[in-house]
Structure 1
Amino acid sequence: MKRVLTEAELKDLLQAQPEWKLQEGKLIREWTFSNFLGSMAFVNRVATIAEEAGHHPDIEIHYNHVVLALISHDAGGITRRDAAMAAKISTELASHTSPKHE
Structure 2
Amino acid sequence: MTIDRKATFTPEEIVARLKAELPHWRYEDGWIRRTYKTNSWKGTLMVINTVGHLAEAAWHHPDLTASYAWVEVRLQSHDAKGITVRDFALAKKIEEVVQWQPGAAENAPLEGTPQHDLRFAYVKYD
The normalised TM-score by structure 1 is 0.88
Call closer, same or farther: CA 1:60–1:99 in 2, change over 3 Å. farther
CA distance in 2, matches of 1:53, 1:32: 24
Secondary structure in 1 aligned to 2:71? strand
Deviation at 1:8, TM superposition (A): 4.3
AA matched with 1:50:
A
Question: Is 1:33–1:98's contact at 8 Å kept on the other side of the alignment?
Answer: yes
AA matched with 1:98:
K
Deviation at 1:6, TM superposition (A): 2.4
Choose between structure 1 and 2 for higher RCO, CA contacts under 8 A separated by at least 6 residues.
1
Structure 1 stretches of 4+ with a deviation exceeding 3 A read: none
Counterpart residue number, 1:25: 30
Structure 1 unaligned regions, length at least 5: none
- Computing the radius of gyration over CA atoms, which structure comes out larger, 1 or 2? 2
Question: Is 1:17–1:87's contact at 8 Å kept on the other side of the alignment?
Answer: yes
The normalised TM-score by structure 2 is 0.72
Counterpart residue number, 1:69: 74
Structure 2 unaligned regions, length at least 5: 102-122
Q: Check if 1:12 corresponds to 2:8.
A: no
Q: Which of the numbers 3, 6, 23 marks the counterpart of 2:7?
A: 3
Q: What pairs with 1:86-97 in structure 2 (closer than 5 Å)?
A: 86-95=91-100, 97=123
Call closer, same or farther: CA 1:99–1:59 in 2, change over 3 Å. farther
Percent of matched pairs sharing the same residue? 34
Deviation at 1:56, TM superposition (A): 0.8
